[in-house]
Structure 1
Amino acid sequence: MGSAADSRVEKSITRAAEALFAAQRSSGSWPNRRPTSVMGTAGALTALHLADRERSHDLVDRGVQWLLGAQNADGGWGGSVGTATQVVPTVIAATALRMAAPHRTGESVRRALALVESHGGVEALPDPGMTHVTSVFLALAELRDMRDLRRVPLEVFLLPPRLWRRRLSFSVPLLVALAFIQRRHSRPKGLPGMLDRPAGRAGLRALQQVEIAETRRGGYGGDNWLASAVCVGLSRAEEAPSRATLDVVDYLRSNVHADGSWHLIQGLDLIGSAYVTRGLAEAGYADDPRLVRARTWLRGCQQDEASPVFDAPAGGWSWEGPRGWPNLLDTAVVLSALTTGGVEEPDEQLRHGLRWLESRQDRKGSWGTFVPDTAFPNDGPCPYATAQCVDVLAENGTRRHDPRIRRAVNWLLSRQRTDGTYEALWYRGLTPGTAMALVALSRVGLADHPVAGRARDALVRAQLDDGSWGPGRTGGLGDDPSTGTVEETAWALRALLASGMPADDPRVRRAADWIASAQRPDGLWQPSPVHMYIRDLTYYVDGLIVHGLALKALGSYRAALAGAASEGREVS
């Protein structure tokens, strides 16, 4: 006999599906309405103030007012309005205010810098790269001496790309920008000084290679903060044509919102739509014509050109659409959505995408995000990404003993932390990494392996009293281990079910009931800042992914209930 909680889940699925289909575009995609960003806004203010001051004065003034209104009571800023304070967005916001409006923002800046110092300053950041980035922006605001900072060597771009691609990965635009900013204040001496002019031209060529594949001119990865940093760098590079700087300025000006703010990343409709498509399919709508249209749209976004910067062939997907930066994790999510199409739908793009994903596996068996075998710490290898790739390849017929799956599984088995958890590079805390690893191990028939058992036990221990999951105790500024989120609860619930935990287990039922009870009156769920922008340092909110994750978890729960009932086991 079904319980009231199960009835609530059934109604929750129906309401969410109705709300999502009502919001679907005629193309088959969904609009991804995300909160505007502190980093995006602060970056745009800095860039427009330094590179387009006269023409963009009104935009800068409105942005200053927005940032002042977004400041938290403790003096800091989080990734978006109302989110917990983190050091990196606080530094970027404070330096933007000091540069753009020093006379009317002095007290706000003072409070922000005092908060940063109370946490050990930027030197205490766990990522040396972000210590350098924030120090450069402090120097731009005349709060540090640029000459005291470690120099970013532009001359590395005089080497063949194969020698720097794996070390720099997706950081190429930012590193070129930082090098140009620093160079304006302090010219290198000795051999680097002799190579300075050709190195500057080589840096510009690297930027041009990145921009070849952009969705829009001047938009680097659709990322307003990154585009802003590039804009500042270009405005300080004498080799750069003025048109290059103006392209970024025009891009930023076109993206501003009526309230004076900017998004962090503009083009996340594709990845969000992929999550929603898979979630609706898990919830019982796989054959619905509206979902068929969504999969058709996703197929049409497959990239048909190679990416020279990432040395990637055609066949992957980017978060932006048919153009942009080919991304291994996003490709795996899109392929997961296409997998639900069945044999009656064209599968050329699915097969091509699976081959592309296989070709991007690291030598050790793992997957990262952009460049295989990269040494760049914010790219890969990643337990979550590896597990996601194993899951979609195995779901599409790659056997457990296939060398690619075997190497990936062996890598996952070796990467478990002593407490049974797994990390994730692109989501906060340990819940998503642990959950996705458990799903992958279960997919290939290893749900009873001791490693899978430890991961399952770790998830069970981390469940909060109300039935939800949060990030756990990370020790990071901005994480609240006592509060659950829909995203993290959905990841954990699906993993426990995939590993064989019965649907009538009280822990499973409480999780499903919590997700259903968290549903808003409009039928959808409130997104939380669980998505990693800068590893362990800055989070952002995604408006669509939460719905896909929630529906996938609730759909899995409903299927497990039905399976238990069909086997004759009482569900009460």
Structure 2
Amino acid sequence: MDKSLEGSLSRLEQKLIGELQSGCCWRGKLSSSALSTAVAMFALSKVDPVKYGGLVQKAARWLLENANQDGGWGDTPESPSNISTTLLAWSALSVVEHGQPYEKLIENAGQYIRKTTGTLEPADISRTILGHYGKDRTFSVPILTMCALAGRLGKDGSEWDHVIQLPFEISVLPRCFFRLIGLPVVSYALPALIAMGMLRHRKARKYNLVMKIIRDMAAGRSLEVLRNSLPSSGGFLEAIPLTGFVTMSLVAAGCRDESIIGPCSGFLEKSFREDGSCPIDTNLATWLTTLSIKAMGGAGGLGAEKADAVEKWLTAQQYRDVHPFTGAAPGGWAWTDLPGGVPDADDTSGALIALKLLNKSSSWQSVSAGIDWLIDLQNSDGGMPTFCRGWGRLPFDRSCPEITAHMLEAFSCWRNEMDDARRESVDASMARGLGYLRKSQKDDGSWMPLWFGNQSAKDHGNPTYGTSRVLIGLSALNRTDFFSDEIRLLMISRAAVWLVKAQNPDNGWGGDIGLPTTVEETALAVNALSVLPITNPEIESAKRKGIDKLIELADGCDLPPASPIGLYFSMLWYSERLYPLIFTVTALKTASTRKHY
């Protein structure tokens, strides 16, 4: 092994081990979010402006100190301003707008908004937001609802004319009907559908008499659905924005049910950091733990004692019962160990791979339940969605390449442990998955991911992430009797050509060709090029240069700097402090163990 690589890898592995918390998991730290901070402070001001007055003032001060020079706010302190976050911050600041430090801040925010909407007229704000999000009402309605509550769309009742009515009444129907109805929000947003639908229903000046009667009759049962889906932590999905939107809407609708408002407001209060900001979510503990296990090479890199503790923790995170929020069957894993999480395909695949690396004889009952859960989730197009099968009309419920490839990798590592019946089922699933990847590969050889992006890209896509993740999944397959290996290798070859082409002149990678180099994207590309079942001088040269760049980026700093490449629900950007460390350790360890390095 190259000495510089060996030295950097050893140092970074020790740092990653040092981030292990309670000897059993990695929790990391998500970036602070202006959007979360604005929504949480505004919601608490509606619950009890006296009790939470100190927090509100602290949050307002953080917004003041983290506004961009153009007058707006982005999703992270490193993000460029965007209209959604700025509208929410502008609305939140309505509760302190008469304070001396904030008048100019609010004025500057209004000027930024005008650059996008044309004016501050309610109709122009509504048109801009609805046009931005299209048919997906998951985030457009919450934004406009908060603007209306803050008086930014008017104060005479007309403000609700600019907020679309969400059909909360359908929440009382059996869940199996949802995919047939065509919800205007994605699967994970049912709490917002109920709370904001009820608020708008009660505030609207104009209404259809028949629908008014139906909605009046459904209100009580809809609240019961909401109450039953509330996790013990008080945070829906452990998400500060979603919980804040639900809380402010219920209070404004006159619903002060303490069994809902109490836990929600308690969750929001606990979410504030010392500096007055909130992250976008509580943590990504399960996701970070499975990534770290893989980075360390499993039990061999962790040692027997740590590996045993981590395995027990990870196994305990598997859902054993039907999920009360999404109705998901038992067998999956969520991104977090907290009660607000919901099982998803990416984290379930990650857990299956991690368990194999920790203990080749891990509980087969847990493993088989996870495998069956993924098979049942797979869409008819062969791809894997994130949460729910067949909800593919809206972006975050559709099949996506990186999660499909992750599933292939998970199935492949356990295939030899299966009985004939399960292996036959898995092979059929993998064949469908490979077919989906073949159809979803772009003409230039790349794949576009769903849950990661790049703020510098024109369309905010990140083909470097998507292509790297798919290459890692395709390269992990060790048996392809169920699919033409020629086709698999052709997909790999085309993708490798694109990835080599995407390398920057400084030998790193950004999210797409010509975009600025980041640690995360360079590490992902090096990782992908290091596991390919094919090679050539161009691939070897790109990999060698990438390794040197990665070492350069990682050396001389306590932790490699994080970039906001993560995409949260509703296209909200975030960075995670441990991503660059985990991705770099994975890439360097993988590169060091390949024969052709």
Q: Residue type matched to 1:464 in 2?
A: N
Q: Residue type matched to 1:552 in 2?
A: T
User: Retained in 1: the 8 A contact 2:172–2:225?
Assistant: no
Matched residue, 1:476 = none
Matched residue, 1:156 = 170
The 2-side partners of 1:494 and 1:405 are apart by 23
Q: Residue type matched to 1:281 in 2?
A: G
Equivalent of 1:70, from 44, 66, 90? 66
> 1:467-486 alignment to 2 at 5 Å?
467-472=507-512, 482-486=515-519
Structure 1 residue 183, shift from structure 2 partner: 2.6
User: Retained in 2: the 8 A contact 1:71–1:77?
Assistant: yes
Q: TM-score, normalised by structure 1?
A: 0.89
Matched residue, 2:294 = 278
Structure 1 residue 194, shift from structure 2 partner: 0.9
> 1:280-429 alignment to 2 at 5 Å?
280-281=296-297, 285=301, 287-321=303-337, 323=339, 324-343=341-360, 345-375=362-392, 376-397=394-415, 402-428=427-453, 429=462
C-alpha deviations, 1:369-401, integer Å up to 9, x for none?
Answer: 111111332122111111111111112227798
Structure 1 residue 139, shift from structure 2 partner: 2.1
User: Retained in 2: the 8 A contact 1:86–1:538?
Assistant: no
1:170 aligns with 2:188: yes
Q: Residue type matched to 2:545 in 1?
A: R
The 2-side partners of 1:467 and 1:403 are apart by 40
C-alpha deviations, 1:448-480, integer Å up to 9, x for none?
Answer: 63333222222222211112222227xxxxxxx
The 1-side partners of 2:388 and 2:72 are apart by 34
Equivalent of 1:109, from 106, 109, 120? 106
- Structure 1 residues 28 and 123, CA, compared in 2 at 3 Å: closer, same or farther? same
Equivalent of 2:549, from 514, 517, 520? 514
User: Retained in 2: the 8 A contact 1:78–1:538?
Assistant: no
The 1-side partners of 2:508 and 2:82 are apart by 24
- Aligned-residue CA RMSD (Å): 2.5
1:134 aligns with 2:143: yes
User: Retained in 2: the 8 A contact 1:70–1:82?
Assistant: no
> 1:48-127 alignment to 2 at 5 Å?
48-104=44-100, 105-120=102-117, 121-127=128-134
The 1-side partners of 2:150 and 2:30 are apart by 29
Q: Residue type matched to 2:474 in 1?
A: L
- Structure 1 residues 520 and 55, CA, compared in 2 at 3 Å: closer, same or farther? farther
The 2-side partners of 1:339 and 1:538 are apart by 32
The 2-side partners of 1:119 and 1:395 are apart by 49
Structure 1 residue 348, shift from structure 2 partner: 3.6
> 1:205-220 alignment to 2 at 5 Å?
205-211=224-230, 214-216=231-233, 218-220=234-236
The 2-side partners of 1:432 and 1:215 are apart by 35
The 2-side partners of 1:322 and 1:393 are apart by 26
The 1-side partners of 2:110 and 2:85 are apart by 12
The 2-side partners of 1:117 and 1:295 are apart by 53
Structure 1 residue 132, shift from structure 2 partner: 3.3
User: Retained in 2: the 8 A contact 1:529–1:540?
Assistant: yes
Equivalent of 1:146, from 152, 160, 179? 160
- Structure 1 residues 113 and 206, CA, compared in 2 at 3 Å: closer, same or farther? farther
The 2-side partners of 1:62 and 1:210 are apart by 31
Equivalent of 1:14, from 4, 10, 13? 10
User: Retained in 1: the 8 A contact 2:68–2:81?
Assistant: yes
- Structure 1 residues 256 and 498, CA, compared in 2 at 3 Å: closer, same or farther? same
Matched residue, 2:530 = 497
The 2-side partners of 1:178 and 1:357 are apart by 32
User: Retained in 2: the 8 A contact 1:32–1:269?
Assistant: yes
Aligned residues: 548
- Structure 1 residues 136 and 171, CA, compared in 2 at 3 Å: closer, same or farther? same
Matched residue, 2:219 = 200
1:524 aligns with 2:592: no
Q: Residue type matched to 1:139 in 2?
A: A
Equivalent of 1:548, from 570, 582, 595? 582
1:228 aligns with 2:244: yes
The 2-side partners of 1:10 and 1:510 are apart by 16
C-alpha deviations, 1:211-238, integer Å up to 9, x for none?
Answer: 1xx251x211111111111101221234
Structure 1 residue 540, shift from structure 2 partner: 0.3
Unaligned runs of 5+ in 2: 118-127, 154-158, 417-422, 454-461
The 1-side partners of 2:98 and 2:428 are apart by 60
Structure of higher RCO (CA pairs closer than 8 Å, 6+ residues apart): 1
Q: Residue type matched to 2:175 in 1?
A: P
Helix, strand or coil at the partner of 2:396: coil
Structure 1 residue 287, shift from structure 2 partner: 4.7
User: Retained in 1: the 8 A contact 2:238–2:338?
Assistant: no
Helix, strand or coil at the partner of 2:567: strand
Q: Residue type matched to 1:189 in 2?
A: N
The 1-side partners of 2:311 and 2:106 are apart by 47
The 2-side partners of 1:123 and 1:360 are apart by 31
The 2-side partners of 1:68 and 1:29 are apart by 35
Structure 1 residue 322, shift from structure 2 partner: 6.5
Equivalent of 2:209, from 190, 195, 202? 190
- Structure 1 residues 350 and 549, CA, compared in 2 at 3 Å: closer, same or farther? farther
User: Retained in 2: the 8 A contact 1:172–1:206?
Assistant: no
User: Retained in 2: the 8 A contact 1:15–1:523?
Assistant: no
C-alpha deviations, 1:399-449, integer Å up to 9, x for none?
Answer: 798111011111111112223221211111222112222222333364863
Structure 1 residue 30, shift from structure 2 partner: 2.2
The 2-side partners of 1:415 and 1:393 are apart by 20
Q: TM-score, normalised by structure 2?
A: 0.85
C-alpha deviations, 1:516-556, integer Å up to 9, x for none?
Answer: 22225465322211110145x42101122332222221111
Q: Residue type matched to 1:433 in 2?
A: G
The 2-side partners of 1:239 and 1:200 are apart by 11
Bigger drift between 91-100 and 61-70 goes to 91-100
User: Retained in 1: the 8 A contact 2:27–2:283?
Assistant: no
User: Retained in 1: the 8 A contact 2:330–2:369?
Assistant: no
C-alpha deviations, 1:225-264, integer Å up to 9, x for none?
Answer: 1111110122123455233212211221122222111121
Equivalent of 1:434, from 452, 467, 474? 467
